[in-house]
Amino acid sequence: MGSENHFMKFDKTFTIKINRNFKKFPDDEPGCAYGKITIGDFWENFYMSHSVWKIKDYVKQWKLAWKYLETHDTSIFVANVQSNHLLITWPLYKIEDSIYIRNNLIIGESYEKLIGNNPYTPETSFLYILPRKHFFSKFRGKKVPVSEWEVKIIS
């Protein structure tokens, strides 16, 4: 089960899907799943909580995200929504002939400022895409570049 882009071609692999081959941990919550995002030679498995969204909601959101990118310069893949106001996303920024992808953890005060008590659904997720303005962050007091991947659009 996954979500495929049907309108753009890229210079490298760019997918997001359910990873049925990932071995779950004994203490994982019942009904959870793991997803996998692939960007060229980079890939990452991610945990998908079942506490707020069902697995079908994640897949629906990914399909909507591809569709949204057809007509907008931003989109977002939601990787994890938890009831403790934790959100993990992969925002997408389409600039000229490239898509730039980041990974965001939104939790606590950041979650409250961005979403608050508003409903966060597959359909409303696009209202909460953070702008692509920060290119550096602080880690242990040092300025480090924000992790970002680029995928070239070839058609």
Q: pLDDT category, 124, cuts 50, 70, 90?
A: very high
Strands laid side by side in the 33-39 sheet: 2-3, 14-18, 33-39, 42-48
| Inter-residue contact 127 to 119 (CB < 8 Å) | no
Candidates 30, 61, 57, 58; CA nearest to 46 is 58
Domain count, the chain: 1
pLDDT in tens, 42-98: 999 999 999 899 999 999 999 999 999 999 999 999 999 998 999 999 999 999 999
Candidates 83, 90, 100, 93; CA nearest to 125 is 90
Which stretches within 34-133 are classed as H helix?
55-71, 109-114
Domain containing residue 7:
2-152
Q: Choose between 1 and 7: higher pLDDT.
A: 7
CATH of the domain at 50: 3.30.2450.20
Mean pLDDT computed over every residue of the chain = 91
pLDDT of 115 > 90? The answer is yes
